[in-house]
Amino acid sequence: LRKYPNNYLILTSYAVVHFSLRRFEEALKAASKILTQATPPLVACGAYTLQMEALRALGRYDEALLALAKMHEQFPDGYGHVIAKYGMALTLADMGKDLREAESLAKAALEVSPAEFKHNSMDALGWVYFKQGRYDEALELLEGAVALEENLTHLYHYGMVLLALNLQEKAFQIFDRAVKLREEGPRIDDFIFAAIRREIRKIGDGEPRLEFPAE
């Protein structure tokens, strides 16, 4: 990074490492710097995702919504479009505001989610339903999300719904699994950064060119 302070691939790797170490302010700075540059769409998508996740982790929900609105405008389709809708729905639900809008966003994200991202949209809609007091509908979606991908956010949301339904023993089992995952550190969805990681190895050969997966 000292040698190539503006290389977007190095900055992306730097941001991911800091996010994984829970150094969210540093991850946010790096992601924001990437977004000031002209980068390939997939790199910008990754930077917006890191920015959103870091802001949410810091409890800066209003700023996260602003960042997601910019992302939604920049990406009318593809991964970025889905992530922006899912992220806005989840953030509004966390804030407990505009839940009808959050529901609409989550449903729209679910409709266009690629298979590898469907669990996130299911989680977002399930969490919105939980905030609306629709526990049975939330349970079905969150069970499905956890079955597809067991991560900290999904497990926490699933456990909260189980508690709301007075299924305490099962809820505590889920929270125990969440604690074990938390010890491993936060993770960013691998599919977003797969192409980027492949290209980082080529930095020494000159300015790398990204090969994008089909959307």
Please indicate, yes or no, if residue 171 is contained in any of the structural domains: yes
Please indicate, yes or no, if residue 215 is contained in any of the structural domains: no
Please indicate, yes or no, if residue 141 is contained in any of the structural domains: yes
Please indicate, yes or no, if residue 181 is contained in any of the structural domains: yes
Per-residue pLDDT, 42: 84
pLDDT digit string, tens, across residues 150-195: 988 999 999 999 999 999 999 999 999 998 887 765 555 554 554 4
Please indicate, yes or no, if residue 195 is contained in any of the structural domains: yes
Tokens 């505009």 belong to 98
Query: In this structure, what CATH number is given to the domain that contains residue 99?
Result: 1.25.40.10
Neighbours of 63 (CB within 10 A): 17
Q: What domain count does the chain have?
A: 1
Please indicate, yes or no, if residue 46 is contained in any of the structural domains: yes
- Compute the C-alpha angle 175/92/190, nearest 5°: 60
Taking 50 as the pLDDT cut, the residues of the chain under it are 191, 194-196, 198-215
**Full residue range of the structural domain in which residue 31 is found:** 8-203
Tokens (6 digits) for 133: 């007091």
Burial-class residue 180 by CB neighbours within 10 Å (0-12, 13-18, 19+).
exposed
